């Protein structure tokens, strides 16, 4: 069994889903990550209220987006959003 977790409170309700096949779990996790990226790239640069463990991830994403902020863009870069998604979504299993 493979379990996909998204447990960042700052991204909304936790998501836990179990799969019998590793490929299905990976496909679901990647889709979830893409959904998170699409949400975050349209979010104004900030660090939301979150747990201490999440704060370091958000802080790094803010730092990754500072170059575009200096050029007048107010939202996270795709790389920064992907960093958050990669940290937020995990797969546990055999």
pLDDT, tens digit, 9 for 90 and up, residues 28-78: 999 999 999 998 888 777 777 788 888 899 889 988 888 776 677 778 889
Q: Which residue has the tokens 């730092």?
A: 63
Between the CA of residue 13 and those of 3, 6, 18, 47, 72, what are the distances in Å? 16, 9, 16, 18, 32
Q: Residue 94: which pLDDT band, with cuts at 50, 70 and 90?
A: low
Q: Which residue has the tokens 């447990």?
A: 7
């Amino acid at each position: 069994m493979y379990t996909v977790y998204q447990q960042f409170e700052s991204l909304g309700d936790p998501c836990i889903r179990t799969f019998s096949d590793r490929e299905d779990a990976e496909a679901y996790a990647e889709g979830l990550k893409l959904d998170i990226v699409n949400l975050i790239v349209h979010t104004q640069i900030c660090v939301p209220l979150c747990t201490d463990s999440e704060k370091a991830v958000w802080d790094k994403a803010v730092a990754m987006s500072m170059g575009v902020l200096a050029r007048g863009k107010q939202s996270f870069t795709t790389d920064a959003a992907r960093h958050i998604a990669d940290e937020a979504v995990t797969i546990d299993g055999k």
